[in-house]
Amino acid sequence: MQIRPYLTFKGNCQEAIEIYTRAFNTKASEIMKFSDLPQSPDNSMLISDEQKDWIIQATIPFGDNFMRLSDCHKERQ
């Protein structure tokens, strides 16, 4: 059986990444922050300075499985 949880946070995803990578003795991959989003007129999501370092998505492998984590943008909480 494969386990693929997706955990969401309210601004403390980076802290959770550090905790889970230590717990599973692994490294996170595919970490993307809101500040990595290209700025364009088509991007209607307003990101505050506080949220620029929030995580859009990160992947943490453990065994044959993985989990994904992200911070929720305030409009989607």
Q: How far apart, in whole angstroms, are the C-alpha atoms of residue 24 and residue 36?
A: 27
In the predicted model, is pLDDT for residue 75 greater than 60?
A: no
- CA end-to-end distance (rounded Å), the chain: 30
Can you give the pLDDT at residue 57? Answer: 95
Residues 2-49: pLDDT tens digits?
879 999 999 999 999 999 999 999 999 889 998 888 776 666 667 788
